[in-house]
Structure 1
Amino acid sequence: MVKEWEKRIVVGKTDLHLVAFPLGSEGKYTGFIVVGLDEANQRQASLLNLSIDEITKFVNKMILFSSSMEETRKNELLYTTASKFHSFIDTNEILHEIIITLQRIYPDFHYCLLVSQDYTLDEGLPVKQLAYDNGSKTSASMKAYLSGDFQIEDRTSEGKSYLFAPIRGRQGVYGVLQVDAKRYLNFPDKVIDFFVSLAKTAGNALENAHLYQQSRKLNNDLQLINSTSHHLNANMCLSDKIEFMSKKIKDSFQADEVSFLCFEEESGGCNYKVLEGSTSYFSSVEAKRFVTSINSLVKEQKEPLFIGDLSESTSLNSINKWSVMAVPMTDYEQFEGLALVIRKKPYFFTFDDFKLLQSLVQHSTLAFANSLLREKLEKNIITDYLTQLHSRYHLDQCIERHLAEDDRGHFLLYDIDNFKQINDCYGHQTGDEVLRQVADAITRKLGSEGLAARWGGEELAVYLPHMPSEEAETLAESIRKEVSEHSSPCVTVSGGMVSWSRESKADAKEIFQEADTALYEAKKNGKNIIVFS
């Protein structure tokens, strides 16, 4: 076991015999104990030979003990790290703990985590996105990611060795741990095993955190869909529902612009109306061109659109670096439209956001269609089909309410002069057209100043709340002139007007009776005049 070197080494003026004692076992040596003996002490070599076995055994045991303690420390740290990993539900904390553990065990290496998903990370963490381009397919990092096995690469251009260990969970690989050895190095098996074990532990922890976050997001999404559907099924008008959905989508997706569009049936889906409750951007000229392009693309592809960067879409010709989601809204019977969501940053929305938006739009479309149908029915109830003026029932209700709330008002009752002769000479179709022309003339002159209704037959009524008497009389005359100047065949109207104030304490029945009497006087006095009562 003890080999005396044959070579004599001269130290100073004294010749020494060097004797080397190996440290290690089973052919694996970690070093030697070298003893120099001069010629005068060579007789002590025999005594040294007797004790060298015990010395070697002791030193070897110390080396093994030290190595065992080091392995125990690494295993304990690996266990502690694994426990920490599984207590984290935040991917940021897991990645941070990986780096801390690596730097504590092997501080001489450099580390980088190549992740396969776009995590929101703290600054300072050595984390990069794993490259998926064509040039990276043959790289050691991509091989480790695709195969799930560690890879070692020596880069002659850098004079370094790299180890790549896959961060692997039970359901997939979530990234790669890159170890930079700073120089060429033959990584020991124990070192490789440690890196592979840590990467695998981290992969399981990342997977658990990801699944937890997914389950929470799914639960939140279901709650959002449920609460939204419940709210939309409440008795709300269409504009309130649109406003509610716009706000809900802006808050949930952090969107800048949200719009719901309704396409007109007569235009074949080319013309659209921005529904009240959408954000203001969609009323601009720029938005009109944008919506037209998006709608054409949706019809061409026959599916919803998910655009990461609008400027990169060759078919849309836009310089805006926006994220866009567009989902068709189709009820097949009552409603056809488009939901548009914009964030003025590229690649902002995730595909999960896109799927959630589709679910929300699907649930809201039926609610919008029901509201639209209800509003159409309500409008039909209070609207005369032929003239598109309000019905007498609606006018009666409005006047009753105004009599209770307002200080003054004016009621005008018009009758088309010689209307029977129009029907007899030109036919009832022309008579209907004349009624529509007179109604249009009243609507043009009235604007938003009051309320017009078809009273019955060829009689049309106008109610003017709040207006001073002089202005009401002037408006009544202007309507009479408008009818005579813009009707074909030319017709005239006679009218009776009644004014009331709170002091008069008039009721609706009395007002109608007085207006009818004034109209009779106008007819009696030659027609085409207004009598003011």
Structure 2
Amino acid sequence: MEPPTIQWINELKSSFLNQIYEADGHLVYEEVAGSLLSEIKTLFGLEEVTLYKWNDWKQQLFVEVSTNPGYQSSIEDSYILCIDFESLLDKRVFYRDFPMKELKKYSLILPMMDDRRTLGLLAITEKNGTNLLRLGSEDWEEFARECYKLIQAASSVSKIVAEEKRYKQLFRVTEKFHSSMSMDAVLGEIISALQEVYPSFTYYLLLSHDNNHENLPIKDLEYDSDNVAAMQAYVSGTIQFEDSISERRSVLYAPLKGKQGVYGVLQVIAQDTLVFPKNEVEFINLLANTAGSALENAQLYQQSKRLISDLQLINETSHRLNSNLRLSETMNYMEEQIRKSFKAEEIGFVMITTAETETAVLGSTDFFQTAAARKYITYVGKKISKEKDSLFIGDLSLQCPEKEIKYRSIMAVPMVQSEDLRGFALVMHQEPYYFSFEMFKLLQSLIYHSTLALANAILREELEKMVITDHLTGLYSRSYLDERMQESMKLDEEGTFILIDIDNFKIVNDTYGHQTGDDILIQVANLIKTNIRDSDVGARWGGEELAIYLPRVSLEIGVTIAERLLLKVEQLSTPKVTISCGVSYWKQSRIDSAKELFRRADEALYRAKNSGKNKVLVH
């Protein structure tokens, strides 16, 4: 007949095998170990059986499994500090004599150990009337050895099951990684997988690129004295470890590595661990490598989409600008495209007019028409004129600490044609570091492809202006005046025409020479420009005769303007000259024409010249 110890051990083994068989791939170590302890409790008719595990790093015993459901309620009973634990185990069985006051409450203590290491203690409390001494020390030692083997087997099998679950999780995560082209989704899946597999670890994603990922534990990857291991992992592409005795933790840095480079570092922190668990390193490394490849694919996909979008923008803009738009239409279109693509607050196109010092602002947002814009234009203009290169400034206030800076993010791209600097595009935003480097490169391409169209639009308008402008006086030509008057007589309700002649102009030429005569014409023309609105038309009629057309202006106001001009010429001309004016008027209530308007003004001028000059007469 078999000794009772062998029978009990066989029953324990049978129970253990049955539980593994019934687990059907869902084996949990704590449940198997707990079942073993319950079987021991039943076999011997015990009050309580508790397994204490030994943590060599913490130098601490702690309750791992117990048949007492309330063992976790007392911290003092669950964790016992023992500096000299190994030295206490001088025998295999302790019956009410274990040399630790915290364990005196137990009837029997069986050390769980083999020749190489100590697992912990099996602590037993007997019921009243139970006599554990009916078995000898050798029997209990054999029982303890077999219990140790079963507990180790439970731990090994549960690790295998857990490992299988991990790799199934890795396969599932890999499928998700490669089914998504979103970097946010990939990063979120990395954290989700780690939290599911290792709920007790802490994780951070250290990324080397711009990131605005909300609700994810992401930090910028920066080189500093506290981040050497992370940077080493990023640079070398290999896993790095950082163990800290003072902080009681071990940290693993796994590079998120693709085929073309490293895209960041996964930081995994294991608390209360001297050395990072070796059996976890391989899985985390596989996860990091898989995630790195997925990040690379997502980034390349997003880059390709962005490049296609950028090329479409450049192509569309170039096509539109080369369709002979007016300069104002060209500028408005460029402003609209830049605002839409870069979400800029202020956009200006600044043309350099003379010797790279004088500038003119074209087709810009309203801010560039104010005095406050001058400091930005001056600063950028000087930098571009000197360096002949684009500017990408994250925070202008750092470069101009003495000035009050409202718009801190700056992008400026020179407009160069035939190696000559024609001007620059200036894009601004109040928020510092608002524009990305990709935006800057796109703006450079956009301005580069648009400069020729902008220059052509400017030249076309300059040519048109030359055609309709008198070269000497800068006033409009007579043909342009005629066109504007006819257009006004179709659309407006009324208008006034003033015909002007410089008195005694021949005498001026004979006395001072034709150069002075030309200068007198220019002086009178400039006085005309400064005394009329932008919507009015000042023109050279012929010889020393000039003309003004005032659309939507009554006769009374027209006469007032003519009289004011009469006075200004007499006061400000050098040498002093006077003028005579003939004024005519039209309104839609009667039939009229531009030809008749000219004739009536000419008759009024003739009468003014023949009745003393230096006067205004109305027909």
Identify whether the pair has TM-score above 0.5, normalized to the shorter chain.
yes
Answering whether residue 367 of structure 2 is matched by residue 278 of structure 1, we say no
2:379 corresponds to: 293
Correspondences of 1:46-445 after superposition (within 5 Å): 65-123=157-215, 125-133=216-224, 135-136=225-226, 139-265=228-354, 268-275=355-362, 277-313=363-399, 322-332=408-418, 336-445=422-531
Amino acid at match of 1:102: L
Shift of 1:182: 0.8
Contact 1:453 1:462 in 2 (8 A): yes
1:457 to 526, 543, 559: 543
Give distance in 1, aligned partners of 2:511 and 2:94.
145
Answering whether residue 577 of structure 2 is matched by residue 491 of structure 1, we say yes
In structure 2, the CA distance between the partners of 1:380 and 1:41, relative to structure 1 (3 Å rule), is closer
Deviations 1:53-84 (A, max 9, x none): 9x999998876654433322221111111111
Give distance in 1, aligned partners of 2:328 and 2:612.
49
Shift of 1:299: 2.9
Amino acid at match of 1:271: E
**Secondary structure of residue in 2 paired with 1:152:** strand
In structure 2, the CA distance between the partners of 1:382 and 1:176, relative to structure 1 (3 Å rule), is same
In structure 2, the CA distance between the partners of 1:454 and 1:75, relative to structure 1 (3 Å rule), is same
Amino acid at match of 2:358: N
Amino acid at match of 1:117: H
Contact 2:108 2:123 in 1 (8 A): no
In structure 2, the CA distance between the partners of 1:234 and 1:335, relative to structure 1 (3 Å rule), is farther
Contact 2:92 2:110 in 1 (8 A): no
In structure 2, the CA distance between the partners of 1:116 and 1:439, relative to structure 1 (3 Å rule), is closer
1:468 corresponds to: 554
In structure 2, the CA distance between the partners of 1:98 and 1:500, relative to structure 1 (3 Å rule), is closer
Correspondences of 1:20-35 after superposition (within 5 Å): none
Between 249-258 and 234-243, report the one with greater CA deviation.
234-243
In structure 2, the CA distance between the partners of 1:236 and 1:41, relative to structure 1 (3 Å rule), is closer
Amino acid at match of 2:332: E
Amino acid at match of 2:198: Y
In structure 2, the CA distance between the partners of 1:508 and 1:358, relative to structure 1 (3 Å rule), is same
Deviations 1:36-55 (A, max 9, x none): x999878x98xx99xx99x9
Amino acid at match of 2:361: V
Give distance in 2, aligned partners of 1:155 and 1:288.
56
**Secondary structure of residue in 2 paired with 1:248:** helix
**Secondary structure of residue in 2 paired with 1:75:** helix
Answering whether residue 603 of structure 2 is matched by residue 517 of structure 1, we say yes
Deviations 1:407-431 (A, max 9, x none): 4333332222332232233222122
Shift of 1:352: 0.8
Between 178-187 and 145-154, report the one with greater CA deviation.
178-187
TM-score, scaled to structure 1: 0.85
In structure 2, the CA distance between the partners of 1:319 and 1:456, relative to structure 1 (3 Å rule), is closer
Give distance in 2, aligned partners of 1:273 and 1:171.
47
Give distance in 1, aligned partners of 2:94 and 2:562.
134
In structure 2, the CA distance between the partners of 1:395 and 1:156, relative to structure 1 (3 Å rule), is same
Deviations 1:355-374 (A, max 9, x none): 01111111222222111111
In structure 2, the CA distance between the partners of 1:477 and 1:59, relative to structure 1 (3 Å rule), is closer
Shift of 1:34: 12
Aligned identity (percent) is 43
Answering whether residue 565 of structure 2 is matched by residue 479 of structure 1, we say yes
In structure 2, the CA distance between the partners of 1:97 and 1:280, relative to structure 1 (3 Å rule), is same
Shift of 1:12: 7.2
Amino acid at match of 1:74: R
In structure 2, the CA distance between the partners of 1:258 and 1:412, relative to structure 1 (3 Å rule), is closer
Give distance in 2, aligned partners of 1:160 and 1:206.
29
Contact 1:21 1:34 in 2 (8 A): no
Give distance in 2, aligned partners of 1:489 and 1:200.
88
Shift of 1:497: 2.8
Shift of 1:484: 3.1
Give distance in 1, aligned partners of 2:408 and 2:297.
33
Deviations 1:131-150 (A, max 9, x none): 223x256x222222221111
Contact 2:95 2:109 in 1 (8 A): no
Contact 2:497 2:601 in 1 (8 A): yes
In structure 2, the CA distance between the partners of 1:333 and 1:477, relative to structure 1 (3 Å rule), is farther
In structure 2, the CA distance between the partners of 1:431 and 1:248, relative to structure 1 (3 Å rule), is same
How many positions carry a matched residue from both structures? 513
Give distance in 1, aligned partners of 2:187 and 2:96.
59
Give distance in 2, aligned partners of 1:314 and 1:401.
52
Deviations 1:444-500 (A, max 9, x none): 444457422111112222223333333333333333333333333333333333333
Root-mean-square deviation (Å): 3.6
**Secondary structure of residue in 2 paired with 1:500:** strand
Amino acid at match of 1:522: A
In structure 2, the CA distance between the partners of 1:513 and 1:237, relative to structure 1 (3 Å rule), is same
Shift of 1:218: 0.9
**Secondary structure of residue in 2 paired with 1:437:** helix
2:61 corresponds to: none
Amino acid at match of 1:467: V
Contact 2:202 2:269 in 1 (8 A): yes
**Secondary structure of residue in 2 paired with 1:111:** strand
Shift of 1:216: 0.9
Amino acid at match of 1:239: S
Shift of 1:327: 1.3
Unaligned runs of 5+ in 1: none
